[in-house]
Each structure stands twice: as C-alpha cells, then as structure tokens.
Amino acid sequence: MTPANTLTRRTATLALSLCMAAAFAGEALAQTPPAPVRMRGTILSVTPATLTVKDRSGEVVELAMSDKLVVSEVYPIKLDDIKPGSYIGTAAMPQPDGTQRAIAVSVFPESARGTGDGHRPFDLLPQSTMTNATVADVSAIANTPAGRKLQLKYKGGEQTVIVPPDAPVVTSRPGDRSLLVPGASVSLFAQAIDGKPTVLRINAGRNGFALPY
C-alpha cells in the first residue's frame, strides 16, 4: 500500500467515525469512542475553533480544536546532538543485513523518556518501522564520517540503526496555537468527539520548517 493510499484510508476512517458518532448520538447506551487517527500535512486555514488541513494524500479535512489541545513545536537539531543515553524515536527502513536505515530521527525531551518504548511497523512508507529506544552506543559509519551507527536498546530487544548524513534529526518542545498558521507543516492525532473530527494533539513546524514524519 502506498503512503497516499494509507493516508486516504486513515482520512476515510476519521470520516466513518464521524458518521458512526452521529448515527448513535441519540442512543442511551454508551458507545466505545473510535480510535484516534493520525494525519500529516499542511494547514490551509485556521479559525479560533477549527483547523483545515490538507493531508499528504491531497484530502482536505476540517477539524475542530479541543479545548485541551496539546501543541508541540518540532525543530531541527544536529546529528551530533544524539549521544549515548539519548532517548529517541526513529522511522526507518529494514535492510537486508538486519539493520535499520533511518529516514528521520526524533530526540525526545527528558520528560518524554520511555514514550512508546519498543520496535514496531510504522505507516510513513511501505515496510517502514518505528523504534523508540535508548541509545546505548554511537559510532561513525565506515567511509561516511558524517553518518552514524546507533545501537538502540528497548525493553525486550535492540536494533542497530544506520543514520545517513541526509537524514533529518529533530526534537520538540512545548508550543502554543501561534504555531498553527496557514502553510505550517503538521502531524496530528484526531478523534470523533460529539459528532465532529477533533484535533487532540498536534506537532507543528515554525517558519516553514517541514516535519520529517
């Protein structure tokens, strides 16, 4: 399945959740809330209560903004900022030799250490993975001084990740709604609440910075 098809499917899932919520709105029995849906894309417009996003599939979706909306700013850092002991998340592609080749790396702030610990499939690209783990060791890649080989350890396993020189490296910090402007690159989680697709959490880049995933 291509990334576009995956995102289209996820957008359709959000729309279906909305329809289901509306259909059952008058029933007395409590309904299990639909699972949050992840979207990645660009903000087209903003009002005090809504956000219109064009996701990477080309779909345009209007979303309500929760009163408890959590906004984080994602910004670039250097590959050298990854140290032994850093807690990171890396989107990657499996390699024939058993290693993972990083597409992008996110260094978690200390307050988020342990978030999503483990290794799992990821929806960025077909066959891509996500590993959230502690960096046990960092070493240079032979014949590629700017690249790095990371030995990652998480509960129950470990992975060797090759980070090429062109892989984006980012981190995050608390943000606010001033980041939510037309043209901003975003990654968000939304859920149908009271019959409306609603943004719960959103990561955004500042001044045109494009989020790597």
Task: Please give the pLDDT value at position 147.
Answer: 87
Task: Please give the pLDDT value at position 136.
Answer: 97
Return mean pLDDT, the chain: 87
Task: Please give the pLDDT value at position 149.
Answer: 95
- 172/72 Cα distance (integer angstroms): 6
Task: Please give the pLDDT value at position 31.
Answer: 59
Over range 127-131, report the average pLDDT. 98
Task: Please give the pLDDT value at position 17.
Answer: 42
- 148/162 Cα distance (integer angstroms): 6
Is the predicted pLDDT of residue 52 greater than 90, yes or no?
yes
Give the pLDDT band of residue 143 (cuts 50, 70, 90). low
% helix, strand, coil for the chain, step of 5: 15, 50, 35
Give 149-190 as a DSSP string: EEEEEETTEEEEEEE-TTS-EEEEEE--GGG--TT-EEEEEE
pTM of the complete model: 0.81
